Chains A and B, each alone.
Chain A
């Protein structure tokens, strides 16, 4: 992936992005004029957004609007796609994450990700959760690792269901349990930001409700960005909402304001179901 830095960090900081003027919360992730290209085709156009600390920000928009692509800019998962190129500035705590001397491994330890389809490793439940802390050398001994595994599973609301079968394969769990296992796995490395790419789209309503409850609890400790197809879900779990359309950020603001009093006509049309 090529990184084109056409704006310096200084100019990025001096101009606050529109619609994110919450003085109470620190800004965790901030992007300025981010564009994404797949080969010759441009998929995202100059997206600037600020994501506040310890809250849930949801990205909504019709299919193919680029919300997942944009999410992957935050932990540089677009690096793994051939022919994908990102320009603009993405900052995590004021630090440019596309800096050449920044190791992507370090970044991804700080920015965790949960994917659309539950994708546990074909290993035991314990090994699934312990993998991140283990490769990052976060624990000194087995006891510490055990503690992390148990606390991560507890926070993901899965521990009670699996405590007797930690040595069973994670792939043997139900879909909803698998997704909670993936969340436990992601939070075991104690990331600062947790990215969720339509985490409930493969789940039934009951499993979805459990995950949504979990997201609400996790926001006390993590900065969460969630991509969702469901406007109801965005309304239920998020405090901030950003609406994307055709690769452009149309509107961003408090969730309540977006859903009750959108400023843009396109947002209004989308949330009232006139297109999408």
Chain B
């Protein structure tokens, strides 16, 4: 096998492995989102769930929701909150003990990707 061919093969293998790893990570984040966030936000992130609707939960894909910064979202995910918005009580549990930094970052990227 010539050197350029070997190089192409190695590069292809590397890219395929990276792509496989990405796919695995995406699946893991998708599952994390469904388990940790989906119950209230809905697995589509629209917030129209038994828990989300009475809180007036916003669609995660909306411009309004997406206007939040990564830091705002990180704080909400890690610490949770209890507040009132538009006359409706809103509450979110913090996931400090359940999600590590990498998972939180992956969730933020996941929710950013929902942007319309």
**Bound pair: A and B?**
no
Chain A residues engaging chain B, CB cutoff 8 angstroms: none
